Amino acid sequence: MIRSMTGFASGKGAFGPHSWAWELRSVNGKGLDMRLRVPEWLTGLEGALRSQMSKSLSRGNVTLSLRLSRDEAAPDLVLNEGAMEAALKALARTQELAAASGVTLVPSSAADLIAIKGMLDAGSDVDDPGPLTAQLTAEFADLLAAFIEMRESEGQALAEILDGQLSQVADLTAKAAKLAEQRKDKMAEALRENLARVLDNAQGADPDRVAQELALLVVKADITEEIDRLKAHIAAARDLLTQDAAVGRKLDFLMQEFNREANTLCSKAQSADLTSAGLELKAVIDQMREQVQNIE
């Protein structure tokens, strides 16, 4: 299934005191250009998100933004009992040494002990970015899946439009082939008249040489190869539309080939009706190229 390069997805989540909002969007691009706006203090998050997108996306200018906020309400404080036991032992030993030296120490209060770094914590991992980074990385997978689903949905719509345009190209190609066949008798009659006129007005002209030159003009006006190549391009394009891969670049190149054959057909037309068919063909091909620019 082909994908469009344009897409959008958003999401929200929460973990502990943190809440966030995602926005993932993309527009057309020649390659894959990813721009991420995520908090720098979440170590490893940007790399993890880039890795996920690189594995799933091939083309497009992709922008990801993460707005993160934290609940400022004071968390429940939890006593670090191990740190407290160590502090009490150290305090008792300090008093023994001071007494042995005849020094009297001012009694320590509970407030003094609690003030020691590491004695109290918030009872969670809010100050450790690891768990939050892991949660965000896991939830991003769902956001990316929704984003890809939207691109595939738009890609399917593009495929239907292109299939219809390819049918138009096929019809115009068949029309051009029919007009070219009808043109043969008129061209043959015109060449016979031209040959007679040249021979009547050119003394010493070699009739065989003149006939060869006129035959060469017929060959140059023949559009059989252009018709055959257009038919081959139509089949190739339809095959690409059924592939489950990034085919945007291949389709873009194929559109250039379509346009080249249409231009050549017009230059060889030598007929108002055939020129008109060629111009219609160019118009449809141009419309196809616009649609192909949106395909991944």
Q: Provide the residue ranges of all domains of the chain, joining segments of one domain with +.
A: 7-72+128-149, 78-121, 153-292
**CA-to-CA distance for 289 and 114, rounded, in angstroms?**
71
pLDDT given for residue 125 in this prediction:
46
**CA-to-CA distance for 17 and 75, rounded, in angstroms?**
9
Contact yes or no for 198/205 (Cβ under 8 A)? yes
The number of residues making up the chain comes to 296
CA-based nearest residue to 61, from 277, 282, 296, 271: 296
Q: Are strands 60-70 and 32-37 parallel, antiparallel or unpaired?
A: parallel
pTM: 0.70
pLDDT tens-digit map of 73-89: 545 567 788 888 888 88
pLDDT tens-digit map of 165-189: 999 999 999 999 998 887 766 665 6
Burial 225-262 (b: 16+ CB within 10 A, else e): ebbebbbebbeebeebbeeeebbbebbeebbebbbebb
Which residues of the chain fall short of a pLDDT of 50?
74, 123-126
Contact yes or no for 294/28 (Cβ under 8 A)? yes
9 CB contacts (<8 Å, ≥6 apart)? 22, 23, 24, 25, 143, 144, 146, 147, 150
